[in-house]
Amino acid sequence: MDQRELSSAQFGSNADAYLASSVHARGADLDRLRLLTETIGPSHALDLGCGAGHASFAMARGGAHRVTAFDPSGQMLAVVAREAAARGHGTVDTRTGSAESLPFADASFDLVATRYSAHHWAQVPRALAECARVLKPGGRMIVIDVVAPEDPVLDTPLQVIEFLRDSSHVRNYRVSEWGGLLQAAGFQSPSFDCWKLPLEFRSWVARIGTSATRIAALEAVFADLSDEARRYLEVGSNLSFAIEAAWMETTAP
Ligand SMILES: C[S@@+](CC[C@H](N)C(=O)[O-])C[C@H]1O[C@@H](n2cnc3c(N)ncnc32)[C@H](O)[C@@H]1O
């Protein structure tokens, strides 16, 4: 399987789990996205890697006159369409594809948001260039994603844990890497707000259908973590732990 097929297989068969997941369905970042959409006013918003659509629904609640929920997985988009109808969000439509090649005309959107998706993208620089292309000049770009620590002693265990849990994981980038990636795509003075996202081990692996073999490997990795990594990941009882997420905000050139 290539990366795209791997990711679609991982997510497609677990689409309803992402709708139900409290990690995805809740969060101050969703309220912030709704408020930002209200501030922008009537807008066409794009949700890249929409999954089960939580960011799309936040932007619809914020009054976007149209929200396009975009994802490579047709099964995820079927969940979004079903749930948008159930919630009365008639402004949400769906479109299939990958962030690296957006099927939209230049300057189509006032707001592009992507939440907990970019660490699956095969080519982030290409995807960000596409975001810059489809945004109107001065349009808002919001990236919400797990970020890696700057210290390699902590970064490596994080990527290992993420990859063992989900073989379609590509990379959690550091804030410093995101700054360079956004600026290389022409985005102006990005700002970053970070927080810790608590995760419960059993539901975290169940959500993506991690195999028993991989779960055993994860348990072995957790058991052998350095003190520094254990502190950074805030490893607690039953292997609950926490990862760092960031709200990254910038404007299109
Ligand atoms: C964790 S889920 C997204 C969660 C969702 N955005 C939310 O806020 O609840 C990650 C999503 O990224 C999508 N994805 C993976 N590779 C992608 C790519 N290259 N371009 C766009 N989306 C991608 C997956 O299909 C999956 O639905």
Residue extents of the structural domains in the chain:
3-148+169-196+246-251
| DSSP notation for 160-228 | HHHHHH-TT---PPBHHHHHHHHHHTT-EEEEEEEEEEEE-HHHHHHHHT--HHHHHHHHHHHHT--HH
135-146 and 241-251 strand pairing: antiparallel
Distance 117 CA to ligand 1 centre (A): 4
| pTM of this structure | 0.96
Q: Which residue's CA is the nearest one to ligand 1's atom 10?
A: 117
Residues 152-177: tens digit of each pLDDT: 999 999 999 999 999 999 999 999 99
Distance 168 CA to ligand 1 centre (A): 11
The ligand 1 atom nearest the CA atom of 121: 19
With a 6 Å cutoff on the Cβ, whether 115 touches ligand 1 is: yes
- Whether 98 has a pLDDT exceeding 90, the answer reads yes
With a 6 Å cutoff on the Cβ, whether 50 touches ligand 1 is: yes
- Whether 5 has a pLDDT exceeding 90, the answer reads no
- 188 — pLDDT class (breaks 50, 70, 90): confident
Average pLDDT, the chain: 96
With a 6 Å cutoff on the Cβ, whether 99 touches ligand 1 is: yes
The whole-number pLDDT of residue 3 equals 84
The ligand 1 atom nearest the CA atom of 8: 25
Q: Which residue's CA is the nearest one to ligand 1's atom 14?
A: 49
Question: What integer is the mean pLDDT of 89-110?
Answer: 98
- Which residue out of 23, 48, 71 has the highest number of ligand 1 atoms within 8 Å of its CB and is therefore the one to mutate? 71
Q: Looking at domain 3-148+169-196+246-251, which CATH architecture does it have?
A: 3-Layer(aba) Sandwich (3.40)
Quickly count: other Cβ atoms within 10 Å of residue 143's Cβ: 27
Q: For residue 53, what is the DSSP state?
A: S
The whole-number pLDDT of residue 4 equals 81
With a 6 Å cutoff on the Cβ, whether 11 touches ligand 1 is: yes
The whole-number pLDDT of residue 20 equals 84
Question: What integer is the mean pLDDT of 17-21?
Answer: 87
The whole-number pLDDT of residue 127 equals 98
CA distance 81 to 205: 26
The ligand 1 atom nearest the CA atom of 7: 15
Residues 102-146: tens digit of each pLDDT: 999 999 999 999 999 999 999 999 999 999 999 999 999 999 999
Question: What integer is the mean pLDDT of 21-50?
Answer: 95
The whole-number pLDDT of residue 239 equals 93
What is the C-alpha end-to-end distance of the chain, expressed in Å? 36
Encoding tokens for residue 243?
């990862």
- 216 — pLDDT class (breaks 50, 70, 90): very high
The whole-number pLDDT of residue 1 equals 85
With a 6 Å cutoff on the Cβ, whether 53 touches ligand 1 is: no
**Reduced to 3 states, what is the DSSP secondary structure of residue 5?**
helix
The whole-number pLDDT of residue 136 equals 98
With a 6 Å cutoff on the Cβ, whether 207 touches ligand 1 is: no
- Whether 10 has a pLDDT exceeding 90, the answer reads no
> Pick from 118, 115, 72, 117: which is nearest to 95 by CA?
72
The whole-number pLDDT of residue 235 equals 98
